Structure formats: C-alpha cells, structure tokens
Structure 1
Amino acid sequence: MPKHRARFLATLMASLLVAWTAVACSTTSPDDGDKPVVLTTFTVLADIAANVAGDRLQVESITKPGAEIHGYEPTPADIRRAAQASLIVDNGLNLEAWFAQFMDDLDVPHVVVSDGITPIDITSDAYAGKPNPHAWMSPLNVGIYADNLAEAFAELDPDGADGYRANAAAYKNELAAVQKDLVSSLDALPANERALVTCEGAFSYLARDAGLTERYIWPINAEQQATPQQVAAAIDFVRDNRVPAVFCESTVPDKPMQQVVSATDARFGGTLYVDSLSEADGPVPTYLDLIRHDVDTIVAGLTGTSPAS
C-alpha cells in the first residue's frame, strides 16, 4: 500500500473513532432540532444545492472559497463533519480525485449530481478519453444538477419534496436566462474571436453551449507545472488564429498564460472562476454570479470592450 494512502486511512479511522465515540457517549444528539446537514465537496455545488434546498436543509461545503478542488487533501475535521452529515454531494466525473478514498469508511448516503449529463471527453495529454469533469460550466447541465438534488433531498426529507422540486424548477428558469444571455452575447463575434484560450481545460461545456473553439495549456489542474510543450502549443494556436485575448482561472497562477501573452499579440483578458466561488463580498459569491462574470469577462476580452457592470 502506498505510504500516502496508509497515512490517509490511519487519519480517517482515528477521526471516525473520535466522531463515533462522541456520538455514542451523548445521551442526546448535539444536532437535535437542527436541520439535516447536506455537505458538498466544493463551494459551487453548495450554492447550487442551497437554491434547491431552500430553508429546510443546512448546506455546507467541505472546501473553502478559493480552494483548488482536484487535488484537495481532506483534513480530520472534514472527516468528522462528513461522518455526522445527513447527505454528501459530489460532482463526479473524476473531479474530486480524493473523494472515493474519503467515502470508503463513511456510512453516509451521497448523490453524484452530474448523473444524466452528456460528458465531453478530454482530448489531450494523460487525461485523453476521460470525461471533462467541469460540467457545471454549462447552465444547461446545472439544470440537471438541480433535478438530481431535488430528488435526493426529497428522499432525505419526503415532507419537503414538493418544495424542493418547485425550487429546482424556479432555479432552472434563472439558468435558462443565463444560457440565453451567454449565446446572444457571443453571437456576433467573428470566427477568429470565437476562441476561448485558458490555462485549464475547464470550459468545454461553456464553449460547446456558446459555439466557441476551446484551447488550453493543460487539461486538468494538477500539481505539476505547465510543460514547455504545452505553452508552445498554446502560443502556436493563438498566433495562427489571431486570437485577441487569453484567460486564466482564479485558483491557479497565470504565469504560463502570461508567457503566451508575451509571445503573441494577444492581451490577457482577465481572470475566470471555475472551481470555487469567492467570499460573500467578492466578485462571484454565487454560481449565477460566476457564470455571468465569466461570460462578461470573455466577451470583454475578445472584443476589447469594458466588462458589463
């Protein structure tokens, strides 16, 4: 067994023992009278889930705003929280590389919110052929997320079933409006400006929805830095297609993309949000804010205009 897995399992078992002992030794649960806790793997899912849950459930995120989700390392506190949750929500599609191990010894139900979406495969590097996990970057897909959450919440809390389904339907109406704005905002761009070049290949679903050609430096955020070959390929694409602007995500350094800017005529179009919301007083405190921010930033960058306020 690899050393890192052995350490993880030892931490997991110790944390679960503490949590279970605390529960067993209590004459009444510390959560008596509280709402059921729904624990999501990252902040974007927490916001989507909260829109469906309304005021009947307490929705929390394991990771904090700004966290990089792919290679997250759960803490003992995360494991204790999960052991006492009523439901755990994950994205699936291999996004949370740590999640299967995290759930191994937890007797807590969980729902994979991406079930039912049509995945887009990654086409390059070691991840080629695997599904791109960033399905929430399509508002249309998030409508499927909302339906999956409504059914999971209805099973958890049957008395609230009608409310969860009504909340999901209302949220899907908001998502449809964002989708319409996305398409109309980008519709007039000329062919060479209909290209979305980013650090991570996190925009396949958004690019599909908007009719954009997607290029990126690396397919999935990982611990290794961008290779010279990856940067060179991005430079060649930007030069060959006269792409006016390039972008990078908030959870990774933009230094590799700045190399692309230095080697081409493209400008740096701005920072996009994908894997994490901001704090409540930041630019993208909700999922709908995130998508609107990204669309405004992409349009402004590609057209050379000021972002919408």
Structure 2
Amino acid sequence: MAESRPVVVTTFTILADMGREVAGDKAEVVSMIPAGADVHEYAPTPRDIIQTRRADLVVWNGLGLERWFERFYQGMSSVPSAVLSDGVTPILLGEGRYQGKPNPHAWMAPANAVIYVNNFRDALIDIDPTNRDAYTINAAQYVARIQAIDTTLKAQLARIPASQRYLATCEGAFSYLTTAYGFNELYLWAVNAEQEGSPQQVRHLVDAVRTKQVPVTFCESTVSDRAMRQVTRETGARYGGVLYVDSLTSAEGQVPTYLALLAHNARAMAAGFGVEQNEVTP
C-alpha cells in the first residue's frame, strides 16, 4: 500500500457515503457509479478499471445486486475486497426472474446499515491497521446516528394507521424497510432491469391498490414513474412522489447522504399518508 491515504473504491454512492463516515480523513473513498444512476445494470468504464486496479480496497454490496461487478472483479481479484452485506439475514424475492434469490437492498433497514458500517470498519482496519482507533471511533459515532434516526422514523411511521400500511412502489426494493417498520409491500416489478411497467404489471398493481384501498403511491428516483402515474390515475390514489433507494444525489440534491435518504423517505411517506411529521434531521 502506498504511503499516502489508502484508496477505497465502492460500487455505488450509498456505500461510498458510509465509507467516508467511517474513514474520516484517514482514507479516500470513491464510488464507481455516479449519483443518480441505477446500480443494477451499470457498465464499467476504462477509468473504472484503472481506478480499481490501483485501489487498496474494493467494497461492494453483494446479495446479487451488482452482477456486473462480479464479472468485472474477476480480472482484478488481487485487489482486496469486502462485501458489506455479510451477516445480513436476507429477505428472498417472491417473484420475477430472480424469485427465491435474496432481495439485495438490505441497507434500507437501519439495523442492516449498522452491519454494513461495522463490515466497512473491519475492512479498513485490515488494510490500514495503524488507523484502527480512528476507524473504530468513527464507526461507533456513525452507528449511533443511524440508530437515533431509526428511533425517530419508527415513531413517525407508527402514526400511519395499520390498515393503510401498504407501500406501493415501482420496484420491490423496500422489503427490508417495510419489514422493519410494519408495512406491507406492493410494487410493479420485483427488480430493476427486468421488464418494467408492462400492462400486466400495471393491471396487477391497480387491482391490489383498489382492493387494499391504498391511498398513496410512490416511485424510485432512478426509474421512470410513467407506469406508476398510470396506476395512480386509474385507482384515484395520490402520487406521493419520489423515494430514494439505489443512489444518492449530488451534494446540492435532496439526499446527498444515506441518513438524508432515510429522512427524506420517511417525510415523503408521512406526507403521502397524511400523518403528522416529526422533524427528522440526518
């Protein structure tokens, strides 16, 4: 490893943000995938190859999220790597092309995010043991912030009547969040990059929203909301706007950090369901 700060390459922005919180000023953490892009079907660039070959550590989510990365990494397996979802209890996908495989969006439950952070800490210590104390302190402080916002979110989302707790979204990316906060999950498609917004998917969700009397629908930031807008029109539900899952925004955007992502989604859900909102600060 070079005498300068170790360089850590992550697959996408949420992992990079977690890593920066743990690394502080002791390591440089970058994301291959830019803000606003979808992680499922990314095509690595020549710059990504060069940057990764020179990295001291490569960090990825696992659980089948970055299938492109598994192929990409085969050519540079000499670079140390860490899978942040190690230790997570996976929720399996119930339908679609990957039925029976793990839902990869485990970070959407704050309790799982704590596992991610601790795995990142351990991976940094492995490549840079001289800064063990800094990584340990930074990780503990960040975990405390995640747990604090989790407590606030539970109290806020508990105000939504149990009979209305159906989260209708475009992708089935919220299984860990809905499980953590006592919601049921409805969606158009199970995983991005499959057929998205087909007439059959729209009809299935229209029927479910009507049957369950779901008052509000949402869609994710990295996909088109066209099909969900159709569901909303046909059912008379409200469109609650954008939720964030796979990507952060730029520093000037609504969710430049993982904690801001959690806070934004909770505010959007509370507003969509028409319940009083707590002040959620990332």
Q: How would you bin the TM-score normalised by the shorter chain? A: over 0.9
| In structure 1, distance between residues paired with 2:216 and 2:227 | 14
Asked if structure 1 preserves the Cα contact closer than 8 Å seen for 2:159 and 2:275, the reply is no
Q: Confirm or deny that 1:115 pairs with 2:86.
A: yes
Q: Which amino acid aligns with 2:68?
A: W
**Partner residue of 1:201?**
172
| In structure 2, distance between residues paired with 1:54 and 1:289 | 18
Seen in structure 2, the aligned counterparts of structure 1 residues 33 and 155 have a Cα distance that, compared at 3 Å, is closer
> What is the CA deviation profile of residues 121-157 of structure 1, one whole-angstrom value per residue up to 9, with x for unaligned ones?
1111222111000001011101001111111111100
Q: CA deviation at 1:168?
A: 1.1
> What is the CA deviation profile of residues 66-95 of structure 1, one whole-angstrom value per residue up to 9, with x for unaligned ones?
111000011111111100000000000000
**Partner residue of 2:24?**
54
Q: Confirm or deny that 1:252 pairs with 2:219.
A: no
Q: CA deviation at 1:43?
A: 0.4
Q: Confirm or deny that 1:171 pairs with 2:156.
A: no
The TM-score with structure 1 as length reference comes to 0.87
Superposition pairs of residues 40-79 of structure 1, within 5 angstroms: 40-79=10-49
> What is the CA deviation profile of residues 225-256 of structure 1, one whole-angstrom value per residue up to 9, with x for unaligned ones?
32211111111111011111000000000001
**Partner residue of 1:90?**
60
Q: Confirm or deny that 1:141 pairs with 2:126.
A: no
The TM-score with structure 2 as length reference comes to 0.95
Seen in structure 2, the aligned counterparts of structure 1 residues 303 and 262 have a Cα distance that, compared at 3 Å, is same
Asked if structure 1 preserves the Cα contact closer than 8 Å seen for 2:159 and 2:276, the reply is no
Describe the SS at the equivalent of 1:171: helix
Q: Which amino acid aligns with 1:52?
A: V
Asked if structure 1 preserves the Cα contact closer than 8 Å seen for 2:160 and 2:275, the reply is no
Structure 1: give runs of 5+ residues left out of the alignment: 1-30
| In structure 1, distance between residues paired with 2:96 and 2:272 | 27
> What is the CA deviation profile of residues 195-217 of structure 1, one whole-angstrom value per residue up to 9, with x for unaligned ones?
10000011111111100011110
Higher relative contact order (CA 8 A, sep 6+): 2
- The match for 1:182 among 141, 147, 153 is 153
Describe the SS at the equivalent of 1:189: coil
Q: CA deviation at 1:281?
A: 0.8
Asked if structure 1 preserves the Cα contact closer than 8 Å seen for 2:42 and 2:68, the reply is yes
**Partner residue of 2:260?**
289
Describe the SS at the equivalent of 2:35: coil
Q: Which amino acid aligns with 1:58?
A: E
Describe the SS at the equivalent of 1:104: helix
Q: Which amino acid aligns with 1:135?
A: A
Moved over 4 A (4+): 304-309
**Partner residue of 1:5?**
none
Q: What percentage of residue pairs aligned between the two structures are identical?
A: 48
> What is the CA deviation profile of residues 174-219 of structure 1, one whole-angstrom value per residue up to 9, with x for unaligned ones?
1111111111101122233211000001111111110001111011
Structure 2: give runs of 5+ residues left out of the alignment: none
| In structure 2, distance between residues paired with 1:244 and 1:178 | 26
Describe the SS at the equivalent of 2:188: strand
Superposition pairs of residues 20-39 of structure 1, within 5 angstroms: 33-39=3-9
Asked if structure 2 preserves the Cα contact closer than 8 Å seen for 1:300 and 1:307, the reply is no
**Partner residue of 1:224?**
195
Q: What root-mean-square deviation, in Å, do the aligned CA atoms of Structure 1 and Structure 2 show?
A: 1.6
| In structure 1, distance between residues paired with 2:44 and 2:278 | 37
Larger Rg: 1
| In structure 2, distance between residues paired with 1:307 and 1:293 | 12
Describe the SS at the equivalent of 2:58: strand
Paired positions, count:
279
